[in-house]
Structure 1
Amino acid sequence: MKKIASTFFIALIAGAITLGSYKLFFENTNYAVISHNEGESVFNTSLTPTSPKGSGINEVDFTVAAETTVNAVVHVKNVTIDRTPHSFMDFFYGSGGNQRPQVGTGSGVIISQDGYIVTNNHVISKATKLQVTLNNNKTYDAELVGTDPNSDIALIKIDAGKNLPYLAFGDSDHVKIGEWVLAVGNPFNLTSTVTAGIVSAKARDLGRNQSFIQTDAAVNPGNSGGALVNTNGDLVGINTAITSQTGSYVGYSFAVPSNIAKKVVDDILEYGNVQKGILGISALNVNTPYAIENGLNEIEGVYVSGVEEGTGAEEAELQEGDIIKKIDEIKVRKFADLTGYLSAKRPEDTVELTIDRDGEIFTVPVVLKKRQTVIVPVMGLEVKNLTKEDMKKFKTKKGVKVVGVPETYRGNGLENKVLLSVNDNEINDIEEARALFGSISRYGRTSITMVNEKGERERLIFQ
């Protein structure tokens, strides 16, 4: 035993001597002495200390925004009557005896303590009855205040008999790509569902001449009309659509910017309809062969291809070939940037345009005007507001003049007539004409009353 212990002790001493000799005679230790030197360059790679939590989502607190939002987001139930013929007899004699109620659901956002709620137009479209359920499970009947199908925004109201929690509109123009946002709504009839994501694009055009905020916060059927909020709990958008081949969320969702929604709501409350201010230009379609062949599809900005008479653009002396680079302080990269910003403006508002004309950059103020012509839905007629000369010529102070007729309806004597009513609903201007034509059915009977240049009234019925 003593022999084994002495052998181990000798081996330990020998190992220590060997390691010490290596460190002393063979290993070279390099030292760098850092001192002040005027000739050395100094680089600050970051002025922000590293968080002990790490980077990314761990540094963002969603709890305050979620708690603020869920109580102001409601469940909207839409009851409609299905009048589709379900048998040959229904089709032949009418479907009045076989009406079926259908229930659709969506979301809405309380925007005032007295019960005004903003939602999507498609959530409440054609409703015969509207009901709203709050986060506390109390249900109230709602009334429709007004709607704008073009922006897909509707305003409804409930009377809860008490002050309600609500959300304040934020400024969607200052939303940044990469910013964290929450989508709050009622997908699949699940109340108070909160999902998180980032703003992945702005001014996204889905082919409707609209401007959407694109996010990757999960949005599914039932989220429509719900809130898109930033981490402060400010309402920056109204969730509206998803792009999907299956009908369910696959990574992209779209919201109407809050500045557009707020403007629509304000117009409905103040005027009863939406007041739209137009610039008065037509923009070049950058996907046309002409644009591609001439390199115009690579331009950053909006290429002016035409200027309408009697508009603010004409008064500001804009010209064909001008490139709009900015509107006020908003950079314009594509047409949706321009239309999205203008959607939040009214007639007689003034905007500052930054123009590139043959390499010369200058700024010009433009007064927005009220649109004088519009193409109405379903029938596609182009109509314009009456001038004083028109009123005198046609002996009427109400109605809209037909200035364009699509091929389908040519030969019916619609050209250069003044439309007075649709299905006995009186028309006063182009906005009323658009709303009335938008409400008619493609499969029902439509009655149009009009007047000719002799002051004679005519009535046409389209089946």
Structure 2
Amino acid sequence: MSIYPVRRFLLAVAITICIPLVYLCAAGAPSASHLPDFTDLVDKVGPAVINIRTATHAQQQGLTSPPLGLDDGDMSEFFRRFFGIPLPQQPGKPDSPRGGGTGGTVDPSDSEQSSGVGSGFILSADGYVMTNAHVVHDADAIYVTLTDKREFKAKLIGVDERTDVALVKINAKNLPTVMISDSNMVRVGEWVVAIGSPFGLENTVTAGIVSAKGRDTGDYLPFIQTDVAVNPGNSGGPLINMKGEVIGINSQIYSRTGGYMGISFAIPIDEAIRVADQLKVNGRVVRGRIAVAISEVTKEVSDSLGLAKARGALVSSIEINGPADKAGVQPGDIILKFNGRNVSTATDLPRMIGETKPGIQVTLTIWRKGKIKDLFVVVAEMQPDITMQVKTDRRSPEKEREFNQLGLAISDLSPEQLKSMHLKGGVQIDDVYGPGTRTGLQRGDIILRIGDIDVLNTKQFELLVQKLKPQKSIALLVRRGDNTQFIPVRPRAEPAQK
């Protein structure tokens, strides 16, 4: 019996199986049509993105220095090697070309020297332009160049250093403008595009995705994190979604070299527009304040205090006679809500307070000693460079140390200390040993509360410590200088010996 018919049969079966697989693989393979196309988006938004150059007077700036922290040799070599062209002339340099254009075209005087370069975008057809505060900081002159090469000398309307937002105005009409999106609709993983002037190279387009939202790197800035290539000169330019809408202002990069390393940050456009609206009307931003310093609520602290989960803002210190102090807020309180709005993390609270108009009474919902309580606070206006009163603790004289189960040697506060620190009770840490050293407790710290119980003196504190369960964490409310925080500590079974 021949085996050839069997081979033909097996070959036919193999072909029958493979043909559908080929079609499936072809269907599942990525194609160019499935990749994002940014061309229409750039055509739509590009004309509203501008280049910003700043200048200072020669007597203030001294010798001309190229932008970006590079010397002329570095910049010349950069442009020669990668572009085959000489170093472009900067504003204020000899023979610096100025665009022809009409109307607002300007020619800065010889006394001006280039001091920086950045980006921005046009908010309104009558010439309002948004950029970063650090782009125009300390500039004596600001020049805005459009994509059609017209250049205008801009007027600074206002800057807000807290949010790094600035608003400038050029004398022009019928300008192309950007569309503004809702920052709250941004999704992690979506494609985004940045347009700007990195290293002075105007109208450069880079693309990437949103890497994260709500990166808390400042009191008023829940940044949008992306992997879009952003370099010096991109600052102030728009971050754009696939609908061609601005979702943020490119502001910062994380870098160990000064250049792009894969992480960049943008200010959410909702925050920026709120600031720009105030700058347009008042030339400055008015913010509320209740005069408290806060810190994050950790899981260990929330567990020790009976909170269902770690949330809210822990009050670490209070300005004497400030709005919160007058309302009865105390160090160690955890603010859970501000005027009915949930405070999920400590960084939520400054933005909520800052957005509130001064003079308005608001409700603070706090957690204190296992109970929820409402307090009523009248919001004050934040003033520049306001600082809280700081007091220095006086330490007790040296004496022989006896350490308890928490690894602490403590002493009573003198009447003078209690009066100067506006305290009714508490004990001072004279030395730290054993479990205490692992928590960050220090000599001179004042213990105000153990769990939910106020500390009155050393005798009461030691009795409370003796009743603690070994190896079960307990939160101590500790004051250090003018700041107060909860510090979790695990007691030992027996007092520590040193």
Q: Structure 1: how far apart are the matches of 2:270 and 2:361?
A: 17
Give the corresponding residue for 1:16: 5
Q: 1:374–1:191: structure 2 CA closer, same or farther, 3 Å change rule? A: closer
Structure 2: distance between partners of 1:54 and 1:181: 20
Corresponding residue of 1:273:
284
For the pair shown, the structure with the greater C-alpha radius of gyration is 1
2:207 matches 1:196: yes
The residue aligned with 1:305 is: 316
Q: Which position in structure 2 is the counterpart of 1:130?
A: 142
1:371 aligns with 2:381: yes
The equivalent of 1:154 in structure 2 is: 166
Counterpart among 84, 92, 110 of residue 122 in structure 2: 110
Structure 1 residues 109-118 or 325-334, which shifts more? 325-334
Q: Shift in Å at residue 141 of structure 1? A: 1.4
Report the alpha carbon displacement of residue 211 of structure 1 after superposing the two structures with TM: 3.3
Could you give the per-residue CA deviations for residues 40-94 of structure 1, whole angstroms, max 9, x where no partner exists? xxxxxxxxxxx9685999465544443332111100110113546979xxxxxxx
CA distance in 1, matches of 2:339, 2:285: 22
> 1:335 is paired with a residue of what secondary structure?
coil
RMSD value over aligned CA atoms? 4.5
Q: Which residue of 2 aligns with 1:413?
A: none
Compare 150-159 and 274-283 and name the one that shifted more: 274-283
CA displacement at 1:374 relative to structure 2: 4.8
Cα displacement (A) at 1:159? 1.2
What is the CA deviation profile of residues 193-243 of structure 1, one whole-angstrom value per residue up to 9, with x for unaligned ones?
222222223332336664322221111011111111222222221111112
2:266 alignment partner in structure 1:
255
Quick check: 1:117–1:155 contact (8 Å CA) kept in 2? yes
Return the offset for 1:294: 7.0
The 3 A distance-change label for structure 1 pair 253 and 374 is: same
Is the CA contact 2:219–2:350 (under 8 Å) kept in the aligned structure 1?
Answer: no
Secondary structure, counterpart of 1:269 in structure 2:
helix
Counterpart amino acid of 1:105? V
- For 1:244 and 1:170, how far apart are their aligned partners in 2? 28
Q: Check conservation: 1:53, 1:59, Cα contact below 8 A.
A: no
* Distance in 1 (alpha carbons) for counterparts of 2:267 and 2:53: 21
Q: Confirm or deny: 8 A CA contact 2:296 2:312 kept in the other structure.
A: no
2-side partners of 1:280 and 1:293: how far apart? 27
- 2:98 maps to none
The C-alpha deviation readout for 1:230-281, integer Å capped at 9, x for no partner, is 2222222111111211111111112222122112111122223211022543
Aligned counterparts of 1:197 and 1:182: Cα–Cα separation in 2? 6
The residue type equivalent to 1:74 in the other structure is I
Residues 156 and 85 of structure 1: CA distance in aligned 2, closer, same or farther (over 3 Å):
closer
Contact persistence 2:328–2:375 (CA under 8 A) = no
What amino acid maps onto 1:235 in structure 2?
V
Alignment partners' CA distance in 1, 2:156 and 2:344? 37
- Output one character per residue of 1:336-389: Cα deviation in whole Å (capped at 9) or x when no partner: 333345554443578787765667779x7977723355536xxxxx59xxxxxx
Instruction: Count residues with an aligned counterpart.
Output: 328
> Quick one: distance in 2 between partners of 1:234 and 1:351?
35
1:141 and 1:158 in contact (8 A); partners too:
yes
Give me the TM-score of the superposition, normalised by structure 2. Answer: 0.54
1:155 CA drift (Å): 0.9
Q: Distance in 2 between matches of 1:58 and 1:131?
A: 41
Separation in 1 of the partners of 2:44 and 2:327?
46
Q: For structure 1, which segment, 263-272 or 173-182, has the greater mean C-alpha deviation from structure 2 after superposition?
A: 173-182
Tell me, in whole angstroms, the C-alpha distance in 1 between the residues paired with 2:150 and 2:168: 17
C-alpha separation in 1, matches of 2:391 and 2:128: 40
Paired residue secondary structure (2:180): coil
Aligned residue number for residue 418 of structure 1: none
**Contact 1:277 1:368 (C-alpha < 8 Å) held by counterparts:** no
* Structure 2 unaligned residues grouped into runs of 5+: 11-26, 64-109, 393-498
**Does residue 152 of structure 2 align to residue 140 of structure 1?**
yes
1:167 counterpart = 2:143: no
Offset of 1:150 from its aligned partner? 2.1
CA distance in 1, matches of 2:39, 2:118: 24
Q: Look up the match of 1:220.
A: 231
1:90-109 to structure 2, matched below 5 A, reads: 101-109=113-121
| Residue matched to 1:70 | 46
- CA 1:118/1:19 → structure 2, altered by over 3 Å: closer, same or farther? closer
Identity of aligned residues (%): 38
